């Protein structure tokens, strides 16, 4: 009888050892899985943070690359017209005292050239037209009436003018600003909405003294 009890006790102990061993193994396996999952989440968050930091650094570098600004100053015979633009951009200008266009200024982030005899969309253009503001803006009246352009009031460097949005020219979608300047008219425009931010920034820095 005593031997039977002893065998039962031993059997129970063996069973408990097996169960506890199994539970320990299962718990260890679960722990390892949880640890792996947690580490994966940590790695993903670290990678995400690195990517966000890289994008922030690239944006900051691009902004620093564009500043400080250079300044184009029109010939003094036309008064005081100063256009500030990112120093890394390309500039081409024609200053002609004769004809209808006294100044023709091209500013763009890349090389300025003609393709197939037609200007590609540029970030910024400025012309000083030898014509009265009312006459020059009258040329856009039909485009406004038929819906190709939308007109709104604008003030640049303290001068009130008109801003047009839409099909500026040659199927280029962009913005154009017309300002009265003595007996002439200043036109400034972009030829693609891709440059909206840069165009508006340049407009904010325009310095004109009639």
The more confidently predicted of residues 45 and 74 is 74
DSSP 8-state code for residue 192: -
pTM (two decimals): 0.66
What proportions of the chain, in percent to the nearest 5, are helix, strand and coil? 45, 35, 20
CA pair distance 76, 20, nearest whole angstrom: 95
- Give me the pLDDT at residue 97, please: 63
- Give me the pLDDT at residue 35, please: 78
Q: Where are the alpha helices (DSSP H) in the chain?
A: 2-66, 133-138, 141-145, 196-205
| Residue 203 burial (CB count, 10 A) | 18
- pLDDT higher than 60, residue 153: yes
The more confidently predicted of residues 28 and 186 is 186
Domain boundaries, the chain: 1-65, 67-209
Q: Which of 85, 88, 64 is nearest to 188 (CA)?
A: 85
Class of domain 67-209: alpha beta
- pLDDT higher than 80, residue 72: yes
- The gap from C-alpha 18 to its chain's centroid, in whole angstroms, comes to 66
- Give me the pLDDT at residue 14, please: 59
| Residue 7 burial (CB count, 10 A) | 10
- Give me the pLDDT at residue 90, please: 94
Which residues neighbour 96 within 8 Å (Cβ) at sequence distance 6 or greater? 102, 103, 104
Tokens standing for 166? 């839409």
CA pair distance 47, 166, nearest whole angstrom: 42
- pLDDT higher than 70, residue 11: no
CA pair distance 164, 177, nearest whole angstrom: 6
């Amino acid at each position: 009888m005593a031997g039977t009890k002893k065998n039962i006790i031993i059997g129970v102990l063996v069973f408990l050892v097996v169960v506890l061993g199994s539970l320990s193994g299962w718990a260890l396996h679960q722990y390892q899985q949880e640890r792996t999952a947690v580490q994966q989440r940590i790695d993903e968050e670290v990678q995400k943070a690195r990517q966000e930091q890289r994008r922030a650094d690239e944006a900051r570098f691009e902004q620093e690359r564009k500043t400080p600004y250079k300044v184009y100053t029109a010939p003094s015979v036309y008064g005081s017209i100063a256009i500030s633009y990112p120093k890394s951009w390309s500039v081409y200008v024609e200053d002609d005292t004769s004809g209808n266009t006294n100044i023709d200024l091209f500013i763009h982030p890349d090389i300025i050239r003609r393709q197939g005899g037609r200007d590609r969309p540029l970030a910024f253009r400025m012309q000083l037209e030898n014509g009265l503001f009312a006459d020059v803006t009258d040329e856009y009246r039909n485009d406004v009436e038929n819906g190709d352009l939308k007109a709104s009031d604008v003030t640049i460097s303290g001068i009130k003018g008109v801003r047009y949005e839409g099909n500026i020219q040659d199927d280029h979608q962009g913005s154009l600003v017309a300002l009265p300047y003595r007996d002439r008219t200043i036109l400034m425009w972009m030829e693609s909405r891709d440059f909206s931010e840069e165009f508006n920034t340049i407009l904010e820095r325009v310095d004109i003294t009639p």
